[in-house]
Amino acid sequence: MMIKIGDSLPQMTLMKATPDGPEPLETASYFANRTTVLFAVPGAFTPTCSARHLPGFVERRDDFTAKGVDQVACISVNDGFVMGAWGESANATGQIDMIADGNGEFAQALGLDMDSSGFGMGLRSRRYAMIVEDNVVKALNVEEPGTFEVSSADYVLNQL
């Protein structure tokens, strides 16, 4: 079952890319007592994700802060090293938290996983963006397969 507005995020451990390498991230504390914009991509370094999705959030980071967002995070079913390298290549370091859902457990817990084995990518996350306040989903924008509209930085900014 897919997560919905008003639901709390699942409590689990993910990995956050840092300059010193991946570090454990507990969702319960990461999302507590703050407003977070979390957006998910099917894969680091993939075309739409690299050309449009992540860059839009990097470019508009200050606009999110101005609207009261405490942190912006990108999550993908990739390992922490890949997320770190992708963040560096996209000039996202220090602006966007790059979070690894290495085994896809978070995507599955949200009901937002998809089978991309036909593309040789295995289990992945659907493309989405959400606004989370103190661990509770306040807005959820899930893309239809092959689209990039409702999870863009501009679309989310208009919801704040």
Asked if 49 is an active-site residue, the reply is yes
Residue of 3, 14, 49, 142 marked active site: 49
Q: What distance in Å separates the CA atoms of residue 117 and residue 76, rounded to the nearest whole number? A: 16
Query: Radius of gyration of the chain from Cα atoms?
Result: 14
The answer to whether 152 and 53 have CB atoms below 8 angstroms apart is yes
H/E element, 76? strand 71-76
Closest by CA to 145, choosing from 3, 39, 4, 42, is 42
Phi and psi at 131, nearest 5°, equal: -105, 125
The catalytic residue positions are 49
